[in-house]
Structure 1
Amino acid sequence: MNDLRVSDRLLIPGGELRERFSRSSGPGGQGVNTTDSRVELSFDVAGSPAIPADLRARALARLAGRLVDGVLTIAASEHRAQLANREAARERLAELLRAAIAPPPPPRRPTKPSRAAKQRRLDDKRRRSAIKKSRRDDRGQQ
């Protein structure tokens, strides 16, 4: 099995990936009943020596809801051909791992509204208040 390039910093050896094949559901007619075109691709995130420790910790935290005993499993059955499903599963696994090991976004720098923005907000509030007050006065006259 070929190695899986996740990013320029991470390459997963093919030996660490496990594939299982089974019969797929969905379209395909009689072929669905006879060919094992569904692919389950499993990768042990927690036990992989290919992932550096810092990236592994980040990936385990972000993928916590998808892992079973530290193993990430992807199923692909959208194509009728087994080879196409294998490629789809590998691409999906790479995309998930890419997102999981991505660095966190920089912290937001808190900003304050400018003096002019504060003044505009207060002016709008006064204008709106005057409109509502004029409506109240009109209703009381009837």
Structure 2
Amino acid sequence: MLKISNNVELADWEIELTAVKSMGAGGQKVNKTSSCIHLRFDIKRSTLPQFYKERLLTLKDSRITKEGVIIIKAQQFRTQEQNREDALERLKQLILSATVVQKTRRPTKPTRASQKRRVDAKKRKAQTKSLRGKVQ
């Protein structure tokens, strides 16, 4: 059971965890132990509220496939249990990040004082450069 918020939880049957052999350098047991975790979560089949599903499916994230399946690969730690916890935490963070509503940006205009400062700075720079010419 993965608790997302106070009233949203994911059951164990919704999250598919698979142990795989990790890539990269390792020690003596590198080819024997499966410490890497592949997490698969099908958004469309899940019991998440519709709002969560819609927001997740509209995300432009490389971890979400065209079919609406989130795939997370956790191999940062040496133990399978730590990688499992890391994968679940990353899934939770991804779901929570989809629910954050961005503030709408209102276009602003520069103030009259800032425009004047910019023009004055340009004039000073032009004056300095004009003095660098040939001496008559």
Tell me, yes or no, whether TM beats 0.5.
yes
The code of the aligned residue for 1:115 comes to: R
> How far apart are 1:89 and its partner, in Å?
1.1
Match of 2:27 in 1: 28
Distance 1:109 1:74 in 2: 36
> How far apart are 1:9 and its partner, in Å?
4.7
Match of 1:108 in 2: 105
Distance 1:115 1:81 in 2: 60
| TM-score (normalised: structure 1) | 0.81
Change (3 A) 1:116 1:63: closer
The code of the aligned residue for 2:77 comes to: H
Q: Secondary structure at the match of 2:18?
A: strand
Q: What number of residue pairs does the alignment pair up?
A: 134
2:8 pairs, out of 10, 25, 42, with 10
1:119 corresponds to 2:116: yes
> How far apart are 1:100 and its partner, in Å?
2.2
**Structure with greater helix percent:** 1
Match of 1:56 in 2: 53
8 Å CA contact 1:24–1:37 kept in 2: the answer is yes
Q: How does 1:42-121 map to 2 (within 5 A)?
A: 42-48=40-46, 50-68=47-65, 69-103=67-101, 105-121=102-118
The code of the aligned residue for 2:114 comes to: A
In percent, how many aligned pairs have the same letter? 36
The code of the aligned residue for 1:135 comes to: R
Indicate the RMSD between aligned Cα atoms, in angstroms. Answer: 1.9
Distance 2:13 2:106 in 1: 44
